[in-house]
Amino acid sequence: MNKFSALFCAACFAAGLAAAPAAAQTKPIRIGVPTSMQLQVGRDTQDAIQMAIDDINAKGGVLGRKLEMVVADETENPETGISAIKKLTADEKADVLIGGYTSGVTLAQLPHISAAKTIYLGVGAASPSITAKVKQDYDNYKYIFRVGPIHAGNQAKQVTGFISGFVKDELGISKIAIVGESAKWVQDLVPVLKKGATDAGADVRLTEFFDSQTSDFSPLLAKIKDSGAQYLIVILSHASSDIFAKQWHDARFPIPYGGIDVKGMDGDFCDRVGGKSISEIAANFAVRAPLTPKTIPFFDEFKKRTNRSPVYTAFGANDAVYIYAQAVGRAKSTEPNAVIKELEKTSYVGIPGTIEFDEMHDVKPGGKGPNFLFVQWQDKCTREVIYPKAQRTKAYITPAWIKK
């Protein structure tokens, strides 16, 4: 037996000992967090969950038991993601999983989550295929929930509303271009968006996908200019939003842009690009505004603890902990089937709105539910809500070099 195996055996043994529960009653409820640890979305997921855990534990925990968190790095690689799930479920024996970011990784993890019969509350991945499985194969996939209004179809609807309600009705622009990175959720989203926009009376001059790795947008920008569009709708997540903003600004591109820009939601995005994203509109589903009684306290507490502004996974992650805790409280047990029944009955006032689940375990949008707010970067890198009009905080500004 070589040295390494001996070491490994020892490590396994030690880990086994460490994980051994003290006594069944005071055994903490373990929240497994599969997330991309090195990315901002991952860090914020962890911090938001820890915030919720600290709060709940201070109030006595759940069913007399404390909550604790175990994190496993899923990077953006399906292989690492699957092993993260196995580590959390088989090794760390997590009671519930909260996390996720890349749709490809989450989809890869689903069969393994199902095999482990563990509840999964997704906070970051947008692909419709994730929750579609809940309906297609309820018995095996009833464990999957999504706690953010990020379902790609929903996002398409929200952006359609923005296009018709703002770009067309207020700015008077009907010629638009739609570009998105070639991730599957975007590829699923864009046709829905295109149809919705066209039905609303917009003239979609160009639809184009580009590789997430693209670092030079000049060809793309040239194409957009040539198409005659007067507003650019973007759908960006993994792609280089920073570079896009910089190159758009450096070329003094004559067309304003906005849409879904995940990195553009970062609190320090504007500073990171040296102020070059001013006048870009990015969709957020929560900003530091009184959307619900929980919103502003959450933002402030998060800022106090981490000195950062939270990104979208933080909202879902924080809400997910409370939602799970409450469901367990109602079910009076952590047994998955019982908890799932209670989860389905959830009506929780969260950070972006009231969270209720539909038959596919996705968040019901609209009404009291979370709605997208279209937020613009303005002078000195401040952010103002532009749309919906009811929540507008300041008037829209055009890019500095465009005469309006």
Partner 1 sequence: MLEILIHGAVSSAIYAMLAVGFTLIFGVARILNLAHGTFYALGAYGAYFFTSHLKLPLFPAALLAIGMVALFGIFVEKVLVRPMRRSQLAVLMITLAVALVVEQALFLTFGSEYRNVPAFVEAKFSIGGVDVGGQRLLALGASVTLIALLWLFIQRTRLGSAILAVSQDPEAADYMGIPSDRIFSIVMALSAALAAAAGVLAGPFLTVQPTMWLLPIVKAFAIVIVGGLGSIPGSILAALMLGYAETVVGYLISTSWTEIVSVLATLLMLIFRPAGMFGKRAAF
Partner 2 sequence: MFGKRIDYTGALGFIAFMALLPLVFGGNYLIGVLTVSVIYGIWAVSWDFMSGLTGRENFGHSLFIGVGAYTAGFLNTTFGIGGWWSLPAAMLMAMLFAVVIGLPTLRLKGPYFALAMLSSAVIMQRLMLIFWEQTGGEEGINGIEPLIRSQLGFYYFALAALVLVTALLLALARSHWGLILRAIRGDEATCQAAGINITFYKIASLVISAAFAGAGGALYAHYQLQVSPQLFAVVTSITIITMVYVGGMASIYGPVGGAILLVLLTELLRNFGEWRLMIYSCTLILILFFLPNGLIAPTWRRLKARLGRPQ
Give residues in contact with partner 1 (CB under 8 A). Answer: 38-40, 182, 208-211, 213-216, 218-220, 222-223, 240-243, 246-247, 250-253, 263, 266, 268, 271-274
Residues 183-212 that bind partner 2 (CB under 8 A): 183-184, 187, 211
Residues 209 and 186: beta-carbon distance below 8 Å = yes
Cβ 258 to partner 2 shortest distance, Å:
24
Out of 63, 69, 107, 200, the only residue in the binding site for partner 2 (CB under 8 A) is: 107
CA distances from 315 to 170, 275, 355 (A): 30, 26, 11
Out of 182, 207, 214, 326, the only residue in the binding site for partner 2 (CB under 8 A) is: 182
Considering the complex, state which of residue 103 and residue 376 has its C-beta at the smaller distance from partner 2: 103
d(CA 328, CA 336): 9
Q: Which does 247 bind (CB under 5 to 8 A by kind): partner 2, partner 1, none?
A: partner 1
Residues 365-394 that bind partner 2 (CB under 8 A): none
Cβ 104 to partner 2 shortest distance, Å:
4
Residues 230 and 255: beta-carbon distance below 8 Å = yes
Considering the complex, state which of residue 336 and residue 352 has its C-beta at the smaller distance from partner 2: 336
Torsion of CA 209, 123, 360, 153, to 10 degrees: -30
Out of 26, 38, 218, 382, the only residue in the binding site for partner 2 (CB under 8 A) is: 38
Contact flag: residue 72 with partner 2 (CB under 8 A): yes
Task: Please count the residues of this chain forming the interface with partner 2, following the rule CB under 8 A.
Answer: 39
Strand pairing report for 96-99 and 29-35: parallel
Residues 124 and 45: beta-carbon distance below 8 Å = yes
Out of 103, 230, 292, 309, the only residue in the binding site for partner 2 (CB under 8 A) is: 103
For 204, list phi and psi in degrees, rounded to 5: -80, 105
Residues 76 and 84: beta-carbon distance below 8 Å = no
Cis bond upstream, residue 191 (ω within 30)? no
Q: Which does 334 bind (CB under 5 to 8 A by kind): partner 1, partner 2, none?
A: none
Nearest to 63, CA basis, from 323, 322, 328, 321: 328
Contact flag: residue 90 with partner 2 (CB under 8 A): yes
Cβ 123 to partner 1 shortest distance, Å:
18
Strand pairing report for 354-355 and 348-349: antiparallel
Amino acid at the residue 362: D
d(CA 18, CA 22): 10
Contact flag: residue 11 with partner 2 (CB under 8 A): yes
Task: Kindly indicate which of the ranges 87-95, 150-158, 290-298, 304-312 contains the residues binding partner 2, using the contact rule CB under 8 A.
Answer: 87-95
Cβ 182 to partner 1 shortest distance, Å:
6
Out of 2, 58, 304, 395, the only residue in the binding site for partner 2 (CB under 8 A) is: 2
Query: How far does Cα 274 stand from its chain's mean position?
Result: 25
Say which residue the tokens 């890349």 belong to. Answer: 102
In eight-state DSSP terms, residue 35 is: E
Q: Which does 266 bind (CB under 5 to 8 A by kind): partner 1, partner 2, none?
A: partner 1
For 178, list phi and psi in degrees, rounded to 5: -120, 120
Q: Which does 26 bind (CB under 5 to 8 A by kind): partner 1, partner 2, none?
A: none
Out of 27, 55, 66, 78, the only residue in the binding site for partner 2 (CB under 8 A) is: 78
Strand pairing report for 144-146 and 119-122: parallel
Q: Which residue spans within 201-304 are E strands per DSSP? A: 203-210, 231-236, 257-261, 281-284
Considering the complex, state which of residue 269 and residue 387 has its C-beta at the smaller distance from partner 1: 269
Out of 55, 57, 61, 129, the only residue in the binding site for partner 2 (CB under 8 A) is: 129
Query: How far does Cα 164 stand from its chain's mean position?
Result: 24
Contact flag: residue 82 with partner 2 (CB under 8 A): yes
Enumerate binding residues for partner 2 (CB under 8 A): 1-2, 4-5, 8-9, 11-12, 16, 37-38, 71-73, 77-79, 82-83, 86-87, 89-91, 103-104, 107-108, 110-112, 116, 127, 129, 182-184, 187, 211
